[in-house]
Amino acid sequence: MSKTALITGVTGQDGAYLAKLLLEKGYDVHGLVARRSSDTRWRLRELGVEGQISYHEGDLADACSIQRAVIKAKPDEIYNLGAQSFVGSSWDQPVTTAVVDGIGVTHLLEAIRQFAPQTRFYQASTSEMFGLIQAERQDENTPFYPRSPYGVAKLYGHWITVNYRESFGLHASSGILFNHESPLRGIEFVTRKVSDAAARIKLGKQTELRLGNIDAKRDWGFAGDYVEAMWLMLQQEQADDYVVATGVTTTVRDMCKLAFEHVGLNYEDYVVIDPQFFRPAEVEVLLGNPGKAERKLGWTPKTSLSTLIEMMVEADLRRVGKE
């Protein structure tokens, strides 16, 4: 019998890649979709899976809609990927971020506890919880120190997941994922902002790229690799928490260099530092230790940063070329 999965955030970057992976594995895939005034399913169309998913209208802030989706979909597995996921916006919308990224997790866990206690649960936790890092390489035992309303909200989501596992025996796992990117990444995130700008500048459609703190360092991987780790977590007998990362950290500056070199340009000729893109409190460096995911899940990242950036720039060259 095929399994059923419910994905919140199915229209996002990770939701689209995960939906594709689960469909390839023979799952019946359901997606929670929030009501919006314009189309949000473009990523699902890009991956050719839009018509293969059953959609449930709902919002993580609305407990009734979450309960209804869980009762109707009857999922074996729930992947909670829905979130206000842009760190920068979390200072402008701190309460929405807390409700959706924090309380929204409890809405799901309560629905599972009351109506579907055998359902396995994945929570999309984040390396942003490490924030002001307390160890050079962050793993599952590193203390947290979030630096944004987003990080604080996600920390609540992480601990309520651990708490419901320990309190009620739910199969609830928290994946502490470091930054992961793809051609489907939102344009507001720095890798995609850079790949899009490199393509536009190359094609004569833009003249400069305005960025904030280019000395910040991130551990960047490919989203297509990371959704595999999410699935693996829910296939384990015991629920647990896992860091998913590449173990390599790179500055925004060097990532720009890779993108611009790919189109034969020097980033220094185009990047302008603009104070509006600096954050009230910065996470200067993130570097994950994925040893536990490697040992227990048999998961390793397959895509290097240079391959990932090339993939993103090539996709943006094709897209911008058609505009």
Catalytic site positions: 126, 128, 150
Q: Which residue is nearest to ligand NAP (CB)?
A: 12
Contact mark string toward ligand NAP, 207..246, x via CB under 6 A: ----------------------------------------
Tokens (6 digits) for 220 = 């960047």
Strand partners, 31: 7, 55
Query: Which of ligand G4F, ligand NAP, none interacts with 123 (beta carbon under 5 to 8 A by kind)?
Result: none
* Rounded Cα–Cα distance for residues 158 and 174 (Å): 6
Query: Around Cβ 185, how many Cβ atoms within 10 Å?
Result: 24
Query: In degrees, to the nearest 5, what angle opens at C-alpha 17 toward C-alphas 14 and 22?
Result: 115
What DSSP letter does each residue of 102-159 carry, written as one string? IIHHHHHHHHHHHH-TT-EEEEEEEGGGT-S-SSSSB-TTSPP---SHHHHHHHHHHH
| Binding track, positions 46-75, relative to ligand NAP; x by CB under 6 A | -------------xxx--------------
The whole-angstrom separation of Cα 84 and Cα 142 is 25
Q: Is 178 in the site for ligand G4F (CB under 6 A)?
A: yes
Return the residue of 14, 28, 76, 225 that touches ligand NAP, per CB under 6 A.
Answer: 14
DSSP state of 101: I
Residue 69 C-beta: closest distance to ligand G4F, Å: 22
Cβ nearer to ligand NAP, comparing 40 with 304: 40
Out of 4, 5, 6, 8, which residue is the one contacting ligand NAP (CB under 6 A)?
A: 8
Nearest in space to 17 (alpha carbons), one of 321, 318, 311: 311
Sites of contact with ligand G4F (CB under 6 A): 85, 87-88, 126-128, 178-179, 188-190, 193, 211-214, 216, 218, 252, 277, 279, 282-283, 286
Where do contacts with ligand NAP occur on this chain (CB under 6 A)?
A: 8-9, 11-15, 32, 34, 36, 40, 59-61, 81-85, 100, 124, 126, 177, 179-180, 186
